[in-house]
Structure 1
């Protein structure tokens, strides 16, 4: 992907755009102007409920509105980027070592050259944006970003179709059309048409070249993002395409060779789930790949408008009553977050629970809806599918793990890099005055001044009691499906799944995206030195111009269990088994992938731990109905009551002197190993 030559569209370009051979998408009426965050959200909800889409304009028309940063504003952005990368960025030593990059020196050179420029001699703004983006992309960290100012923020550039990769039986790659925007058509074009060339370049090479511009933490992540960005680019985080249109060569649905020229379009994306600049537990606990999150919302805008209507235009909304997106799905209160259904495979009928995002306001509600959906699916095996999930609320990811295992969940610990500025921030919030408690990291950062330690102590973000407060609710075997776009809080979920030995991981790629960090924005960092009042008069953070922003990985995550202390960043989570996506997967609902998952589930041990209770006076009768379990230990309010060897089942046990409201816990063992657990409130 090359970058814009000019932020203005010439009249010649405008004339050439009209020559596109494809049928154009219909342009809806332009949404009313709005200024405040609340106003934007309300207006988008109104649009969603009315069935209208946001206005669509050509890329050239859109770029004609850009280019207003002064030389002073550019210098400010460079200075603030230097500050955050040098003083806040937790992965800087790792990235410099692993990828031989020096973003600080590149920013210093950029600053030095800008000192010799004036408003009249400064470079075009698109060059400035490209340089800033390139510096941030060089660290290969999707948490650490330069976010473009208005008019780019909140906009997406798109082509009206989606391309995905699959493999044939010989292992050769193929790139197929899988979705088109409603109303779009071209000769012999649609789901199943195969793209062979992109602007005259063989498609596989075009994907690799494009991926190098938006580098992920590993090769699989590079290629996945390179493919996605061929047709969809959130302009807040990715520079606009250089070309006004693209030329595709493809094998049509009838086997003929076709060529298509299609124009880039720009429209408004759905709003994010939360204000990441505000001081809140949610914003401080985010582990989110913004690029994936923006693209997930954009795909709703382009392809899944029924979900937008259910959510009322609010991302990851929680409905008052469950609703189903399609007839085969279970109704859910979070249709933009979950999709639950039964799948029939040659190995049995299993549950398939897709998690599209962890980006929610209420992690407990997320956990409870996950548990409710899992309970409504077949209990002999569950496929948890987190492909394309860029993360979100770290609490939501780690709270959910407990529902799938009898093991005690140890949340992943995190560390700050030891710098004077991070120490100042932790000192100000060590007593939890704002609701963001940084006390667990303060003492070690304070001591690091004397000891020279590179990092703070490792402490979890997720409360350990919250990660264990309801325990296991699903007792069948579980397979987790991952891919290279899994990132951030979803990487943490996958790492916890592996570290607690919950089940088998089936990867579409050879690794997850390898994003192991908590991410904070420049706005949040600035707010932390201004709240609670009075503001810190010596704060180095200055307000950024025109809605621009910066993000950095602020706290790195470490594995637990057998890989305790290993960073997730750049390492990721490797699957136990892999599956290469097939043509049938792309065009027929992931049929081969789900069959592979079904074969893994069928080979795993099946457990059942049924516990029912009846209280008569102060006597509690407990009935156990089990399978694959040879011993059950009974606890009442965590006090051991009974241990039963199960030669026969069901088995009735009477427990005396029990009061209503006490918590009964049954732990099931097989050959001495804890394999199942269930909690019942008396």
Structure 2
């Protein structure tokens, strides 16, 4: 057992029953509650970028609900105030009402950092149009008669399981039906207490049928333990926090799933030293060792259509987007070059730079990052003006300032749209994989992953294969209350700040800048609409129990028959000559430091020629064409 596995095993051994855990809760005073409601009102009324959209689409009024809650608290005393669980429930319901997984009330101690879990995982598969619910994993060491992976769950606390999922889905935020359904299923067995109130029941009774056809019942208590901490501190003034696009719930659950079922993938740091990183191409079915096991899993997979590369991207929640991209490039370089499956299912997002930097590696075309907008309010203008011309050296909100001033004068709802991701970073290294690519998504793809999927589709990189009807539809940059407070207090304290310290380690998050799509769908918001896949695959029993077998077969069918091009470029140090090795490319144009230098016809797979000035150029870019269409590119940065 590795050190990480031992640490995770200890966390589970230290888990306590839900009812015992709840005895430690209930420390907020009436004054604390009033502060929380007042601060929630500031965020929702003055910072929340999606407020007009949510009021229109979902017929909700969170501002009025907060005012009413504040009024009720003003009439209460310490003796007459509601139980604390009821306060947490109501404030959480107000945040959940806008169906925005970026906009959360984060519960205080002792809930922060904890998860509630049952020792098994349930997933959905289909036979035709009929859904089935099956246990796919159990926590190591847990056992019950006739219970384990493969048993089908029919009832949940006496309620038919399909109905139980639907009822649970109504309690949790999600911008569309697919997202709500997915989260309703997931939260049956795993809930981050940072963003969800504890389960109502102390235990759950499931009715299940195994291979012998006998119906049995299992009663299991909810247990509470410490979750694995994230790599990124979203409250800290940093580029990673400022460019955050993350569904905290999915991220918390992703870390908890690793702790419960894949403890060997848990790492204490974003990247780890791996002494035996191979430079050999992947063997079929074998994982390629990675320095970021909590972020990537790469392997070669055999399908009936051929052998292709398959890389899971579990999260974009990293501090170093450049290092993230470099490891992705290293991994895909060791996979088959005739087709690549990029699988982002269950990825709740993270660093927006990381998601948009990744796109360039898969296409010869320049990447246009998504523009973002603030909602035009006096408070948002104050924040932007305070960080105009980059006074802190860490953040520059200058591009939004003038349009925000004009919007307040003209009663426009939003500022102008400007990118968070720097254009040069989004195109710094260019295309690295020249074979066809297919992207796999689901309804748990959110935020920076929505942005990645939108960019993949908008830049026509390849087909999008969805196991759900839509992605999670989270189209925003998210900031925490603590980060907003810090921004308004820099470069010096501001006595007029509306942000007050939150009690008891509580926090809040809010969608601060909305994202818009580019190219054919330019100006379309991502929020609530999401990214509809080009092709749909319903998960099968073989998928959920045998490593996505049918899903990967479907992805292989989409890759089969598409051209697997090649364009390698090498500059000879001595002579300065350029050698190109290509396939399915008939012309190459060479650019030195952004200026065109020459164009050559490629009549052979390998050609060598002289390029005047190539020896002193810092950036050499080769663009490959087929019958006049740009189909491949290679960038050499020296």
Instruction: Give the structure-1-normalised TM-score.
Output: 0.90
**Within 2, Cα distance between the matches of 1:224 and 1:298?**
17
**Secondary structure, counterpart of 2:287 in structure 1:** coil
Contiguous gaps of at least 5 residues in structure 1: 1-44
User: Counterpart of 1:176?
Assistant: 134
Q: Please name the residue that 2:448 is paired with.
A: 489
Give secondary structure in 2 for the equivalent of 1:537: coil
Where 1:395 maps in the other structure, the secondary structure is: helix
Aligned to 1:156: 115
Report Cα offsets for 1:422-475 as digits up to 9, x if no partner. 011111111212201111111111222222221111000000000001111111
Q: For the residues of structure 2 that align with 1:461 and 1:174, how far apart are their CA atoms?
A: 42
Give 1:319's match in structure 2, choosing from 273, 292, 296: 273
* Residue 216 (str. 1) matches residue 174 (str. 2): yes
2:126 is matched with which residue?
167
Residue 607 of structure 1, CA deviation: 1.4
CA distance in structure 2 between the partners assigned to 1:605 and 1:663 by the alignment:
28
Distance 1:88 1:191 in 2: 45
**Structure 1 residue 655, shift from structure 2 partner:** 2.3
Contact in 2 for aligned 1:343/1:350 (Cα 8 Å): yes
CA distance in 2, matches of 1:574, 1:379: 27
Looking at structure 2, the residues matched to 303 and 662 of structure 1 have their Cα atoms a distance apart, in angstroms, of 47
Match of 2:597 in 1: 641
| Counterparts of residues 138-287 of structure 1 (less than 5 Å) | 138-168=97-127, 170-287=128-245
**1:610 and 2:568 aligned:** yes
> Does the CA-based 8 Å contact 1:391-1:490 persist in structure 2?
yes
1:74-97 per-position Cα deviation (integer Å, ceiling 9, x unaligned): 111111101110000000000000
In structure 2, how many angstroms separate the alpha carbons of the residues matched to 1:47 and 1:330? Answer: 20
Aligned-pair CA distance for 1:650: 2.3
Query: Which stretch shows the higher mean deviation, 481-490 or 296-305?
Result: 296-305
Inter-partner Cα distance in structure 1 for 2:184 and 2:525: 25
Alignment counterpart, residue 540 of structure 2, candidates 553, 577, 582:
582
CA shift in 2, pair 1:249/1:550, >3 Å? same
Q: Does the Cα contact within 8 Å between 2:5 and 2:263 map onto a contact in 1?
A: no
Who is 1:409 aligned against? 367
Within 5 Å, which residues of 2 pair with 1:29-428?
Answer: 52-53=10-11, 55-168=14-127, 170-308=128-266, 311=267, 313-314=268-269, 316-319=270-273, 321=275, 328-428=286-386
Equivalent residue number for residue 457 of structure 1: 416
User: Would the alpha carbon gap of residues 405 and 50 (structure 1) be closer, same or farther in structure 2, given more than 3 Å must change?
Assistant: closer
Between the aligned partners of 2:6 and 2:489, the Cα distance in structure 1 is 37
Which residue number in structure 2 is paired with residue 665 of structure 1?
Answer: 621
**Residue 318 of structure 1, CA deviation:** 4.0
Equivalent pair of 2:116/2:223 in contact (CA under 8 Å): yes
Contact map agreement 1:322 1:334 (CA 8 A) in 2: no
Match of 2:476 in 1: 517
Change beyond 3 A, Cα 1:419–1:634: same
How far, CA to CA, are the matches of 2:319 and 2:568 in structure 1?
Answer: 33
Q: Is the 8 Å Cα contact of residues 321 and 333 (structure 1) preserved in structure 2? A: no
Q: CA distance change for structure 1 residues 131 and 376 in 2, over 3 Å: closer, same or farther? A: same
Q: Distance in 2 between matches of 1:661 and 1:67?
A: 65
Q: Is the 8 A contact 2:308 2:336 kept in 1?
A: yes
Give the aligned CA root-mean-square deviation in angstroms.
1.8
The offset of 1:49, in angstroms, is 5.6
State how far apart, in whole Å, the 1-side matches of 2:441 and 2:273 are: 27
Distance in 1 (CA, whole Å) between partners of 2:221 and 2:277 is: 36
* Contact in 1 for aligned 2:18/2:224 (Cα 8 Å): yes
Is residue 2:637 matched to residue 1:678? no
Residue 274 of structure 1: how far off its partner (Å): 2.0
1:195 alignment partner, SS class: strand
Secondary structure of the 2:115 match is: strand
How far the C-alpha of 1:640 sits from its partner, in A, is: 1.7
- In the alignment, the residues of structure 1 paired with residue 223 and residue 277 of structure 2 have an alpha-carbon distance, to the nearest angstrom, of 32
TM-score (norm 2): 0.96
Answering whether residue 550 of structure 2 is matched by residue 592 of structure 1, we say yes
Q: 2:500 aligns with which of 522, 535, 542?
A: 542
Distance 1:413 1:318, change over 3 A: farther
Structure 2 residue runs of 5 or longer lacking an equivalent are none
C-alpha distance in structure 2 between counterparts of 1:547 and 1:349, whole Å: 50
How many Å separate the matches in 1 of 2:86 and 2:78? 14
Q: Is the 8 A contact 1:631 1:644 kept in 2?
A: yes
Provide the residue aligned with 1:651 in structure 2.
607
- 1:53-88 per-position Cα deviation (integer Å, ceiling 9, x unaligned): 351000000001111111111111111101110000
CA distance in 2, matches of 1:136, 1:642: 58
Match of 1:471 among 417, 430, 448: 430
Which secondary structure does the structure 2 equivalent of 1:364 belong to? helix
The answer on whether the counterparts of 1:667 and 1:676 sit within 8 Å (CA) in structure 2 is yes
Shift of 1:614: 1.9
Aligned-pair distance for 1:660? 5.2
